[in-house]
């Protein structure tokens, strides 16, 4: 037997097992390209206590029949059985499968919390022993709280920006809502996460919070402290009726300012006669009659009150 004959026989032996394999591949179309799961979008950022839709489609070879479909969460570890989230007490009441056993694997997860921030996977099992597939990488869900960022102290007249911040970029185009002292603020920039107060006024002082329209979650309050100088000080006189010579009279300078005024000056005519919020005159005399005013001062400015006139009555001695 020649060398060439022996070589040909050996080659036939080596090639023989490959033919049935090639034949099976052609008949069944077993290719990884025929299997797959697609998520849209693959990354989701959602507000705490909102509802999330994870859009999903899947494919598998013709001739296979879907026996089971379910969603699970990471991590995916080889050899470890994956938990069907519909059987998980933390998810069973909040998870609703919206897909089918053909191509759609969309799922809805309601009332999401920060603990729901995970990577989620869709898995399907067919009637063929090896015909199962898990879509990796999965869809990443990040759940965020909202937080108002604002300057601690501002002065009346400044331009102030308050920002409604989240830990991730919200997936949907969010419509932001702003509240001051729990009352909704009407703003033209509703699609922006920034509230601009320009110029800021003393009436803008208060507690601010933000939310996303359509969601129940509201950020914690942040106090905006607007500083301003004294505003229109007013003098109260006690007693308020007729003042008779010998009475004790108290003048009180009442002033609105932030921070509260701590320096006060009292004037009779153009002459300074005292200091402090309260100016007292004991055993008032006729020559104490006249016009009085006070000046209220804080670190942002000063303001004079309107004048009050003291008319002193005296008793005739007979």
DSSP 42-88: SEEEEETT--EEEEEEEE--TT--EEEEEEEES---TTSPPP-GGGS
Is 70 exceeded by the pLDDT of residue 221? yes
- Lowest-pLDDT choice from 21-25, 198-202, 217-221, 276-280: 21-25
CA distance 57 to 46: 21
Which whole number is the average pLDDT over 82-94?
Answer: 93
Is 70 exceeded by the pLDDT of residue 206? yes
pLDDT at residue 131, as a whole number? 85
CA distance 316 to 318: 6
- Nearest-CA neighbor of 58 among 124, 115, 117, 112? 124
Is 70 exceeded by the pLDDT of residue 316? no
Is 60 exceeded by the pLDDT of residue 93? yes
Within the chain, residue ranges assigned H as helices are: 3-15, 18-28
Beta carbons of 230 and 257 less than 8 angstroms apart: yes
Higher pLDDT, 318 or 57: 57
pLDDT at residue 17, as a whole number? 44
CA distance 295 to 277: 9
Is 80 exceeded by the pLDDT of residue 98? yes
Which whole number is the average pLDDT over 285-309?
Answer: 94
pLDDT at residue 6, as a whole number? 44
Task: Give the model confidence (pLDDT) of 28-41 as tens digits.
Answer: 445 556 899 999 99
Which tokens is 275 given? Answer: 């200091």
All structural domains of the chain: 33-143 (2.60.40.10), 145-220 (2.60.40.10), 229-313 (2.60.40.10)
- Nearest-CA neighbor of 85 among 141, 40, 130, 169? 141
Higher pLDDT, 242 or 180: 180
DSSP E strands, 74-189: 95-97, 107-109, 118-126, 132-134, 139-144, 146-149, 153-155, 160-166, 176-180, 183-185
Q: How confident is the model at residue 162 (pLDDT cuts 50, 70, 90)?
A: very high
Is 70 exceeded by the pLDDT of residue 309? yes
pLDDT at residue 32, as a whole number? 59
Task: Give the model confidence (pLDDT) of 108-149 as tens digits.
Answer: 999 999 999 999 999 999 999 888 899 999 999 999 999 999
Is 80 exceeded by the pLDDT of residue 7? no
- Highest averaged pLDDT of the listed ranges 146-160, 165-179, 183-197: 146-160
Higher pLDDT, 78 or 59: 59
Which tokens is 210 given? Answer: 């933000």
pLDDT at residue 51, as a whole number? 94
The fraction of the chain above a pLDDT of 90, given in percent, is 69
Beta carbons of 94 and 71 less than 8 angstroms apart: no
Distance of CA 276 to the CA centre of its chain: 45
Helix (H, G, I), strand (E, B) or coil at 313: strand
Task: Give the model confidence (pLDDT) of 185-197 as tens digits.
Answer: 877 555 578 999 9
Beta carbons of 200 and 154 less than 8 angstroms apart: yes
The fraction of the chain above a pLDDT of 70, given in percent, is 86
By residue count, the chain amounts to 318
Task: Give the model confidence (pLDDT) of 39-63 as tens digits.
Answer: 999 999 999 999 999 999 999 998 8
Helix (H, G, I), strand (E, B) or coil at 198: coil
Average pLDDT score over the chain: 86
CA distance 275 to 289: 19
Which whole number is the average pLDDT over 305-312?
Answer: 93
CA distance 190 to 212: 10
CA distance 36 to 15: 32
């Amino acid at each position: 037997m020649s060398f060439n004959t022996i070589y040909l026989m050996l080659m036939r032996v080596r090639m023989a097992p490959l033919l049935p394999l090639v034949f099976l591949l052609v008949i069944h179309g077993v290719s990884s390209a025929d299997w797959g799961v697609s998520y849209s979008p693959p990354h989701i950022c959602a507000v705490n206590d909102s509802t999330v839709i994870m859009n999903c489609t899947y494919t598998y070879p013709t001739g296979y029949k879907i026996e089971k479909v379910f969603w699970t969460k990471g991590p995916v570890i080889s050899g470890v059985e994956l938990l069907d989230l519909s059987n998980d007490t933390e998810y069973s009441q909040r998870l609703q499968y919206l897909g089918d056993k053909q191509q759609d694997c969309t799922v809805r997860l309601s009332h999401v919390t920060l603990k729901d921030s995970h990577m989620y996977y869709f898995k399907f099992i067919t009637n063929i022993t090896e015909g199962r597939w898990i879509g990796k990488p999965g869809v990443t869900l990040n759940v965020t709280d909202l937080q108002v960022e604002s300057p601690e102290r501002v002065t009346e007249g400044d331009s102030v920006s308050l920002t409604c911040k989240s830990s991730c970029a919200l997936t949907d185009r969010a419509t932001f809502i702003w509240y001051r002292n729990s009352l909704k603020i009407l703003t033209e920039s509703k699609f922006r996460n920034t509230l601009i107060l320009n110029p800021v006024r003393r009436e803008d002082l208060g507690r601010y919070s933000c939310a996303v329209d359509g969601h129940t979650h509201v950020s914690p309050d942040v106090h905006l402290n607007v500083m301003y100088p004294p505003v229109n000080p007013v003098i109260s006189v006690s007693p308020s009726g007729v003042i008779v010579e010998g009475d004790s009279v108290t003048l009180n300078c009442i002033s609105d300012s932030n921070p509260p005024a701590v320096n006060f000056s009292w004037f009779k005519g153009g002459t300074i006669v005292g200091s402090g919020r309260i100016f007292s005159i004991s055993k008032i005399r006729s020559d104490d009659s006249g016009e009085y005013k006070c000046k209220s001062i804080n670190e942002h400015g000063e303001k004079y009150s309107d004048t009050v006139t003291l008319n002193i009555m005296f008793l005739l001695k007979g």
